[in-house]
Amino acid sequence: MRTHTLVPSLLLLGAFSCTAACSSGSDGSSGTASDARPGAAPTPSPVRGVDPSKIKGLEIVSDSSEQSSCPFATSYPNVPGAEAMTAAMKKDVDERLADFRSGACEGGGNSLELNVSHQFLVASGDVLGVRLSTQDHSGAGSGLSTRTYWYDGKAGAYRTPLGLVADGSQDAFIAALKDQLKGREGIDATALDSTLSDPASRTAALDDMVFTTDGGLRVTFDRGEVGVPPAGTYMVAFPKETITPWLSAFGQRVQQQTMTPSRSLDLGAAPVPAPAVPTHTASGDDDTDCKKVTCIALTFDDGPAAPETATLLTSLAQYRARATFFTVGQNVAAHPELVRAEARAGHEVGNHSWNHPDLTKLTPSQIASQLNRTSAAIKAATGKAPTLFRPPYGAINAQVKSATTLSPVLWDVDTEDWKYRDEDKVARTVIAKAQRNDVVLMHDIHPTSVAAVPQILRTLTDRGYHFVTVSHLRASL
Ligand code: ZN
C-alpha cells in the first residue's frame, strides 16, 4: 500500500539537528517525526550522531550578525582533505547570504531571518557527509530547506547525493521514488514526472539523501519541490534490501560507514598539527571588588572558533583579564577543548543557543531544545552548566524567558564588529564608549575583533579598568 508521511518543517529542524550528546560521542539522533495515522510509514531509523571534536583539523566557518534588523547566522565545516566539498558548501552559503543581505537587510528594521546550520552525517573511514539546514524567512520561498554533501576520500572527489546511486540504476531508483510519492496528499503527478525526468531539476530536487543506521536510505524533499507548498516536506524511506542493489560503489561505502563507523576519519589529507590550546589556569576566585574599583565585562559571542579563540585566551591571560564567552552549541561540540580552556582560565562560559536562531520565532519546546542542548554541551566540556544566556540578536520576549531558567544577558556597548571587520575600529569603538560596569559585545569568530583586544586591554588597564565576568559584575553591584 502507499504510505503517507508529511513532516512539518519545524519538526524536521529538530530531528535533523545533532543533540548535545554528539559531543560525548554517543548516538546523537533525536528521533524522527512521523505520521501517527493508521497505515503511516514506519518511522525510519534515525541518523547516527557524529562527534565532530574527533575530526582532526576541523574548522567551523561561521558568520553572523547580532542585529535584529538584519538577523543572519551561517555555518559550515571545513574538513582538511575535503576541500572540494567545502568549496561546494561555501558557494551555496555565500549565495544565500548575499541574497539575504542584499534583499532583507537593505531595507532594515524588518523581522526577516536567515539561518544555515550544519550537522555531520558520517565522518568515518574515507567518507564524509554533512547536511546543511537553511531556515529562511526572507520571502515567498520561506521555510526549511536541507541539502546533503558527500565526500569520497578514496577517489578524492566531492559527490552529490545522487552519486550514492549507480549510474545504471538511476532509472529504477527514480521510478521507485515516483511510485512512493504518487498518491500522497499534495503531490502533483505531472509536475513530479517532469521534475524527476529532467536531469538538472532531478539533481536539484534530490539534494538530500542519507543512510539510516539500519542501512536504509532516506530521501527528503523540501517544501514545494515535489508537492504543493502547504503540504510541506516529503520523505521517502527505502529499506536496506531495496536500496542496496542500486547503490554505487561509493554509496555502498557510505552505507557501510553509517551502519558500522570506523574509529576515525581519514580522507588522505596531510596530517594537520593539532592547534595549540592555551593552558593558562586561573588561581582561585576573582576577588576584584567592583564597588571599589572600576569594572567592565567584555563578552565574546558565537564561538568558540579555531584558532581565534585560542589567540584571544592568550591575550586575556597576558592582562589577567577575565571575560565571558557566549558560546554556540554546534561550535562547542566541534571544539570542546577551547571551551574547557576558557573555563580553566577563569572566564565565564554562557549559552548563546545551539545554532543562533531568533528564539522569539520558535515554539517553547524549540527554545528549550536550543538552550538545553547547548548547556549540556558546555557541561560536557567544562564540568559545569552555564547560568547565563544571551539570546541571538538580543531578541527576547516573555515566552523565551519562561522557557529557560538561565538568566538573560544583553549588552551596553555594541561594537557592531561583525559588520566592518576592522581591528582599529573595534578597538576605538570600545575605548570611546566604555564606561564603568558596562557589558561590551564582541565576537571571537572574527580575527579582526580578536586582534583588537590587546589594544583595548592595554588602554583600559591604563585607565584603571578591571576586567571581570558578567556574573562577577552582577554579584558585586
Ligand atoms: Zn551571536
pLDDT of residue 187: 94
Average pLDDT over residues 462-468: 98
Say how far apart CA 375 and CA 377 lie, in whole Å.
5
CA of 452 from ligand 1 middle (Å) equals 18
What's the pLDDT tens digit per position in 86-103?
999 999 999 999 988 887
Question: Would you say 347 and 283 are in contact if contact means Cβ atoms under 8 Å apart?
Answer: no
C-alpha distances (whole Å) from 29 to each of 45, 79, 265 are: 9, 22, 20
- Among 118, 347, 443, 466, which one carries the catalytic annotation? 443
Binned at pLDDT 50, 70 and 90, residue 393 comes out as very high
> Is 301 tagged catalytic?
yes
Is the four-CA dihedral 244, 250, 251, 254 of positive or negative sign?
A: positive
pLDDT of residue 37: 33
Say how far apart CA 105 and CA 70 lie, in whole Å.
5
Question: Would you say 322 and 472 are in contact if contact means Cβ atoms under 8 Å apart?
Answer: yes
pLDDT of residue 11: 35
SS3 sequence, 16-35? CCCCHHHHHCCCCCCCCCCC
Average pLDDT over residues 377-395: 98
pLDDT of residue 42: 43
* Burial of 322: CB neighbours in 10 Å, binned 0-12, 13-18, 19+: buried
Instruction: Mark 19-34 as b/e (b = at least 16 C-beta within 10 Å).
Output: bbbbbbeeebbbebbb
13 has pLDDT over 60: no
Question: Would you say 9 and 144 are in contact if contact means Cβ atoms under 8 Å apart?
Answer: yes
Question: Would you say 351 and 389 are in contact if contact means Cβ atoms under 8 Å apart?
Answer: yes
What's the pLDDT tens digit per position in 334-349?
999 999 999 999 999 9
Q: Any idea of the CA torsion for 295, 468, 59, 328, to the nearest 10 degrees?
A: -100
User: Which of 12-26, 57-71, 76-90, 134-148 has maximum average pLDDT?
Assistant: 76-90
Average pLDDT over residues 179-192: 91
Which residues are within 5 Å of ligand 1 (an ion), measured at CB? 66, 301-302, 392
CA of 142 from ligand 1 middle (Å) equals 22
CA of 151 from ligand 1 middle (Å) equals 30
SS3 sequence, the chain? CCCCCEECHHHHHHHCCCCHHHHHCCCCCCCCCCCCCCCCCCCCCCCCCCCHHHCCCCEEEEEECCCCCCCEEEEEEECCCCHHHHHHHHHHHHHHHHHHHHHHHHHCCCCCCEEEEEEEEEEEECEEEEEEEEEECCCCCCEEEEEEEEEECCCCEEECHHHHECHHHHHHHHHHHHHHHCCCCCECHHHHHHHHHCHHHHHHHCCCEEECCCCCEEEEECCCCCECHHHCEEEEEECHHHHHHHECHHHHHHHHHHHCCCCCECCCCCCCCCCCCCCCCCCCCCCCCCCCCEEEEEEEECCCCCCHHHHHHHHHHHCCCCCEEEECHHHHHHCHHHHHHHHHCCCEEEECCCCCCCHHHCCHHHHHHHHHHHHHHHHHHHCCCCCEECCHHHCCCHHHHHCCCCEECCCCEECCHHHHCCHHHHHHHHHHHCCCCCEEEEECCCHHHHHHHHHHHHHHHHCCEEECCHHHHHHCC
Average pLDDT over residues 209-219: 97
Positions of CATH 3.20.20.370 in the chain: 8-15+275-476
110 has pLDDT over 80: no
Among the listed residues 172, 175, 246, 242, the one whose alpha carbon sits nearest the alpha carbon of residue 214: 242
Among the listed residues 300, 295, 304, 140, the one whose alpha carbon sits nearest the alpha carbon of residue 224: 140
Strand partners, 296: 467
Average pLDDT over residues 51-66: 94
Binned at pLDDT 50, 70 and 90, residue 275 comes out as confident
CA of 393 from ligand 1 middle (Å) equals 6
What's the pLDDT tens digit per position in 415-463?
999 988 999 999 999 999 999 999 999 999 999 999 999 999 999 999 9
Question: Would you say 64 and 138 are in contact if contact means Cβ atoms under 8 Å apart?
Answer: no
150 has pLDDT over 90: yes
Binned at pLDDT 50, 70 and 90, residue 111 comes out as low
CA of 273 from ligand 1 middle (Å) equals 29
Binned at pLDDT 50, 70 and 90, residue 269 comes out as confident
Q: 110-124, 304-318, 417-431, 449-463: which has the minimum mean pLDDT?
A: 110-124
Positions of CATH 3.30.565.40 in the chain: 38-259
Say how far apart CA 53 and CA 133 lie, in whole Å.
20
36 has pLDDT over 60: no
> Is 443 tagged catalytic?
yes
C-alpha distances (whole Å) from 200 to each of 197, 205, 450 are: 9, 9, 44
- What cell numbers appear for 284 in the block? 582561585
141 has pLDDT over 60: no
- Among 136, 301, 302, 358, which one carries the catalytic annotation? 301
- What cell numbers appear for 314 in the block? 592568550
* 100 against 378, higher pLDDT: 378
The pLDDT > 70 percentage for the chain reads: 88
Q: 71-75, 216-220, 281-285: which has the minimum mean pLDDT?
A: 281-285
Q: In this structure, which CATH number among 3.50.50.60, 3.40.50.300, 3.40.50.1370, 3.30.565.40 belongs to the domain 38-259?
A: 3.30.565.40
38 has pLDDT over 50: no
Only one residue has cell 542519507, namely 210
CA of 262 from ligand 1 middle (Å) equals 35
Average pLDDT, the chain: 88
* 221 against 38, higher pLDDT: 221
What's the pLDDT tens digit per position in 15-30?
333 333 333 333 333 3
Say how far apart CA 113 and CA 393 lie, in whole Å.
10
pLDDT of residue 16: 36
- What cell numbers appear for 344 in the block? 580553566
pLDDT of residue 46: 63
- For the chain, the residue count is 477
Binned at pLDDT 50, 70 and 90, residue 32 comes out as very low
For domain 8-15+275-476, the CATH class is alpha beta
User: Which of 49-53, 280-284, 300-304 has maximum average pLDDT?
Assistant: 300-304
